[in-house]
Amino acid sequence: AAKNVINCSMELGGNAPLVVFDDADLDVAIEGTMLAKMRNGGAACTAANRLFVHDRIHDEFVYDPKATTITTRVAEVFHHRRGGCQDFAHLLLALCRALGIPARYVCGYVYDAKRGAVLGSHASHAWCEVWVPGHGWLGLDPTNKRPVNEAYVASAVGRDYRDATPI
């Protein structure tokens, strides 16, 4: 039987993936993610470079634009699990930057033909763009858990809200 054993290695999406499942303790997951990425200053070949987070985590945050102000810090939003579109965008930015993924903050508007189907469409809206090598900037709307499409119109792009305030 030993002559049928084949040495092999398996890859989960390549490039050091890190998976956070739906039943994870988020505080422990964040601490573990930071450790996995920043071990040896991020220079270890096993440092996490791809992160998959289960959809349920999005559902644990409540869209509540009155819960925060423009001076609210990301840590407070994470702790209270509620905020507006700018808060959701800042959370995604913080996660991407912690993993060394280039990301930028986008402010603009979203056309909502159904009037109420898109959270944050009643006023200026915020989302992120994440750099995907070989593809370019990919727009992601963490508030509505979807990629940006032709309904999104950017008015400003920057590192964060201070660089890209609404007009």
pLDDT(157) > 90: yes
pLDDT digits (tens, 9 = 90+) for 39-67: 656 566 666 666 666 566 577 889 898 99
CA distance 16 to 118: 34
Tokens linked to 153: 């119109």
pLDDT at 77: 87
Task: State how far the Cα of 99 lies from the Cα of 7, in Å rounded to an integer.
Answer: 31
Q: What is the pTM of this model?
A: 0.67
6 versus 160: the higher-pLDDT residue is 160
Q: What is the mean pLDDT of residues 144-156?
A: 88
d(CA 133, CA 148): 18
Q: What is the pLDDT of residues 1-37, one digit of tens each?
A: 556 666 655 555 455 666 666 677 767 777 777 677 6
The tokens for 141 are: 């709307």
Q: What is the mean pLDDT of the chain?
A: 78
Q: How far apart are CA 137 and CA 147, in angstroms?
A: 11
Q: How confident is the model over 130-158, as a mean pLDDT?
A: 87
3-state secondary structure at position 127: strand
